[in-house]
Structure 1
Amino acid sequence: MLKEGESVLGLHITQQGIKIAELKKSAAAIELTAAETISLLTEATKDEGFFIEPKYEAAALTGFLKSRGISSKKAVFVLDSPHIVTRLIRLPFISKDDMRYTLENEVNQYADFKNKEKIIDFSRIEEISEEGVKKVNVLFAAVLKKTIDYFIALAEIANLELLGVECGNLAVIRALNEVNLKSEVLAPVMLIIINMHDAQLCVLKGNRLRFVHDIKIETEKISGPGKEDFINKLIIAIRLALNYYEMSGLGGENILKIVVNSNVEAAKDMDKELTSRLLGLSIEKASPLGRLRIDNNKFSEEKLRSISITHAEVIGAALKAEDPQTYPLGLNLISPEKRKSMRLKKELPVYAAFLGVLLLCYLAAWVIFSINIWSLKKDLSKINQQLEDTEVSLDKFISELSIQDITEDKLREGAFLIAKIDASRPFLWSELIAEIMNSVQDEVWLSAINADVRGDIITVQGYALSEKLIFDYVNILSNYRHFESVNLVSSQTQGAFLRFLIKCKLKK
């Protein structure tokens, strides 16, 4: 679901243009922020009335979004017949794999889909018992894979995050959910969706689909002399659907309410036409804007009336981003494998950047550690040199005593120097530490040196890249004249290194 402040686009590509609706989520509601139709004046090649050159549509779409300052990246596309098949079918209670196999055979009965690579998604709507046999109503949709590939390519070119491809009739149902179609109402309702070239008759009980039927009908005839023929044909189809549902095992209930949603301007008043002809039935005009908050400063009353007719599908598609997990009609025609690969493709740069930062941090730590070790070695070298200079001064003084008369002043000077050296006896530990540090070879790092004066024990801790380097370092320390014994206490793997502990015992 959308986070507060996020927005999403509903998009429907037709031969007349691209319908766009942008919805934005706030703390209190979902707001309609834009609704337009982009004209497409291109020479794009068409395949059976469908665009197959996504670069043209992507260019028109990105240009429009940029000109309007729309920064939304999430998008849901709508797809209508004949490019998609949406059906409700009753099947025995079988496994999902067997159900998918059965649905593929069902779709192969349509000439446009037979023996072609396609994508199918389905949802179990409800379980029922028919003559003691457990069955399930299954809603499914099928589309050719090349059609989905087109939407994926278009989204990539336009730099959009494709959330899904939605069926047109399911998008309208979503827009009307909890407005004209109440989930708590158990009485069946017929929803009539009038498109440019067909009409879809859907029966819902609550927000669950119980019956779907399509009829081929041209709405362009409404504005001409064929208006009465169009209305009569629609009424005949409605009566047949009502009778079939009420008399068959599908429902066995009377339908008393009809909701009319027209997606074309010519049929905007069809609810009034049906009210005068279908007596005894409650006819209601659909309100696809009912779930949205509208800023009246952005949209005029005439504009909103037009949007409610022409943009119901894209509004419902955008609302897909708000589907709860329990919503029963949430099909997605992007295959699970493709959704996973798209998500990985999107997240890969983030992971790469994180690993790059992690590597830089590791290198920086290694450089700092190396500099500290070098600085410590340098300081210990200076201490060692001072100790050597002190020993030389003592040797020189003793030598001078052996060849010169021992005077009272010389004795006092010698006593003072001896007392000074004796007072600095702790520098012997500095000498040992310096020797330990200077013995470290490349690719070995020390982390701690601890001395137990009472027990004459020195412990050395550090890291190395191999066991051999640790053994070599133990041998080096074993040759030091002040140590009685040198033992490797432990060696453990830690990341890319070996952590070691060496114990050195001083000669008494």
Structure 2
Amino acid sequence: MKDIELQRIISLKLKLIRRGIGIHVAENGIYVAEVRRTLTGVELSKAHFEPFPDTIHSTEEGPARQKYVAAAIQKCCAKAGIKGGEVYTSPAASQVVTRYFQVPAVSEKEQEDAIRFEGSRYVPYRLDETVVGYSIKPARDKENLDVVFNAIRIDVLRSHVNAVEAGKIKVFDSEPPFYSLARAIHNQKKRAESKNCILHFAVDGAVSVSMYRGDIFYVCRDFYLSPDDPKHPERFFSEFQSSLDYFNRQLGETGLPEHVYVAGDWNLKMWAQILDKFFNGKVPVEIPEFPMKTGLAVESANTFLVPIGLALRAIGEHLTPYDVSFLGSGVVAEERRAPRKWTGAVILTLLLLGVGYYFGYYMPRMHQLKQTLGKLKFDEENLNIASPQFALESVSALQKRLSDLETKNKIVQAFQESRSLIGDKLITLSQTIPVPIWFSDLQYQQTFSSGNALAITDRQLSMNGYIYYREIPEEELRQINDYADELRKNDSFMKGFAVLKLEGVERTSYLGRNFTKFRIIAHFNTSGRVNK
């Protein structure tokens, strides 16, 4: 939570965020849910599942698989009627490692090194190849710390985020699905300090097991059962019993869980009966009633518990100090923040250019014009009214001077209009510029007609810039075209211009990074129509 942006924290605390979206990229497809905060409480407004095509299972991780995922997300959101926004996501349970262990209660400075060292024993790959998130809580003996250690490979997380965002979705954060499940089931309720177990059965045979007490997850694992294997219940009992034994060893206790919840989309009633028989009726086995208002049946609603838990986190519901963030820190988080640093620098540069224009050009010109106007005073001694000839000449001179004053007044008005126009454009650009885009140079030119009218016959604003989006040229090209279209539709920006065109798009590189360079030109002349 400490790495979440300050503005979002304030919004969550004040309950200002009214809409949350969660996307779970499971092994078999995309699960998406949208929840809304209403006067009567939190309600599920939209939900949909979109299965992956069979061809995805023979496709390795990489751009090809990302295209399948992105297409499924776009199709899923379109069918659900969900438009893009900031979302929380979760990868498949098989892509995340979640382990519990204890470390001695060392000082805060030593905690991170101690936890990473101990965590390296539980992760099947090198820690420098992973993004790590962990939660800490004082153990009951006060001499140790309870640690829940979560890890995901950097390339897997990067591929997950890129695939979701290629579906025109902005990922705000990502977490393991075990946390999302617990949040959805315990929505608006404090998790009791009792032994709880959640079993999630997916229709393709993927099973995940979470065992926890309060906010500490002691067991989080997954395995696969073949629905076509008639002996899959026996295989399940073997896997489940080993998980239960491990749970009790970690707690230093014996006995059964006090609550068992069954979720997913694989015949929940059948699995509830199997578990009830396994426990000999000694443990309540629940298919949880849906934790919020919805028109879906109980079993149908349980299909979407993971994305619902993610959407609840998006609106700040049932947050705990132990929620895990995969995008709060680490390599992938730094990659995502880099373009934002450039954007801030560019906006600051634009503001400095505006200040420089005002004090370096506009104010000196105004001062010079005032000095010129101050010299245009009429000498009464030169107005000899007694002589018709001199009187006539003085009137002509006065008329000429009056004409000069009117011309200079129009020049001042033209400068003021140009300054106001450019100021408005800079404000619009700073409010609409996407994260991956930054401008390197802005040039404004205008031409007046000859004569006293001083009408503007030509006006042009040229904006040179770059876009960087993880070195994916097709995505960079799509985003800059979308931004140009947004500017064309922006009445505030197009006021005073007739056309806007995108040109000069080419690939370039700097410090080993590949970028897309572009130029946007907004133009108006007397032969065009001004967009008012």
Scaled by the length of structure 2, the TM-score of the pair is 0.59
- Are 1:305 and 2:273 counterparts? no
1:113: Cα distance to partner? 1.4
Q: Which residue of 2 aligns with 1:140?
A: 149
- Within 5 Å, give how 1:343-492 maps onto structure 2: 343=337, 345-346=339-340, 349=343, 352=346, 356=350, 359-360=353-354, 363=357, 369-370=363-364, 372-383=366-377, 386=379, 389=382
Amino acid of the structure 1 residue aligned with 2:43: E
CA separation in 2, counterparts of 1:89 and 1:52?
38
Indicate conservation of the 8 Å contact 1:23/1:33, yes or no.
Answer: yes
Indicate conservation of the 8 Å contact 1:4/1:25, yes or no.
Answer: no
Q: Which residue of 2 aligns with 1:172?
A: 181
- Are 1:261 and 2:262 counterparts? yes
Question: Sequence identity of aligned pairs in percent?
Answer: 15
Amino acid of the structure 1 residue aligned with 2:230: P
Which of these two proteins has the greater Rg computed from alpha carbons?
1
Q: Which residue of 2 aligns with 1:503?
A: none
Which of 186, 189, 195 is the aligned partner of 2:196?
A: 189
Q: Which residue of 1 aligns with 2:72?
A: 60
- Within 5 Å, give how 1:180-259 maps onto structure 2: 182-183=190-191, 185-194=192-201, 196-205=205-214, 208-209=215-216, 211-212=218-219, 214=221, 216-218=223-225, 220=227, 225-230=230-235, 232-233=237-238, 236-237=241-242, 240-241=245-246, 245=248, 248=249, 250=251, 252=253, 255=256, 257-259=258-260
CA separation in 2, counterparts of 1:360 and 1:154?
39
CA separation in 2, counterparts of 1:210 and 1:251?
15
Amino acid of the structure 1 residue aligned with 2:251: L
Secondary structure of the 1:140 match is strand
Q: How many residues align?
A: 372
Indicate conservation of the 8 Å contact 2:103/2:118, yes or no.
Answer: no
Change (3 A) 1:289 1:351: farther
Instruction: After superposition, give the CA deviation of every residue in 1:331-355 in whole Å (9 maximum; x if it has no partner).
Output: 1112525446535635755774576
CA separation in 2, counterparts of 1:105 and 1:37?
40
Secondary structure of the 2:52 match is coil
Indicate conservation of the 8 Å contact 1:116/1:144, yes or no.
Answer: no
Instruction: After superposition, give the CA deviation of every residue in 1:372-406 in whole Å (9 maximum; x if it has no partner).
Output: 434432332122x617848xx8xxxxxxxxxxxxx
CA separation in 2, counterparts of 1:350 and 1:268?
54
Change (3 A) 1:62 1:193: closer
Change (3 A) 1:57 1:121: same
Secondary structure of the 1:128 match is coil
Q: Which residue of 1 aligns with 2:90?
A: 78
CA separation in 1, counterparts of 2:35 and 2:138?
31
CA separation in 2, counterparts of 1:33 and 1:188?
32
Which of 104, 123, 130 is the aligned partner of 1:118?
A: 130
1:219: Cα distance to partner? 5.4
Q: Which residue of 1 aligns with 2:508?
A: none
CA separation in 2, counterparts of 1:326 and 1:39?
30
CA separation in 1, counterparts of 2:110 and 2:364?
63
Instruction: After superposition, give the CA deviation of every residue in 1:38-69 in whole Å (9 maximum; x if it has no partner).
Output: 23338558677898632332233234434654
Please report the RMSD computed on the Cα atoms of aligned residues, expressed in angstroms.
4.0
Q: Which residue of 2 aligns with 1:316?
A: 309
Instruction: After superposition, give the CA deviation of every residue in 1:89-140 in whole Å (9 maximum; x if it has no partner).
Output: 111112456444444444544684147611111110333326xxx1010111
Gapped runs of 5+ residues in structure 2? 1-10, 385-532
Q: Which residue of 2 aligns with 1:32?
A: 44
CA separation in 2, counterparts of 1:191 and 1:86?
15
CA separation in 1, counterparts of 2:206 and 2:43?
31
Deviation larger for 335-344 or 6-15 = 335-344
Secondary structure of the 2:94 match is coil
Secondary structure of the 2:67 match is helix
- Are 1:151 and 2:151 counterparts? no
CA separation in 2, counterparts of 1:157 and 1:217?
29
Amino acid of the structure 1 residue aligned with 2:172: L
CA separation in 1, counterparts of 2:25 and 2:243?
29
1:163: Cα distance to partner? 1.8
Indicate conservation of the 8 Å contact 2:275/2:285, yes or no.
Answer: no
CA separation in 1, counterparts of 2:119 and 2:59?
21
Instruction: After superposition, give the CA deviation of every residue in 1:400-425 in whole Å (9 maximum; x if it has no partner).
Output: xxxxxxxxxxxxxxxxxxxxxxxxxx
Amino acid of the structure 1 residue aligned with 2:69: E
Scaled by the length of structure 1, the TM-score of the pair is 0.61
Q: Which residue of 1 aligns with 2:105?
A: 93
Indicate conservation of the 8 Å contact 1:15/1:50, yes or no.
Answer: no
- Within 5 Å, give how 1:266-281 maps onto structure 2: 266-279=267-280, 281=282
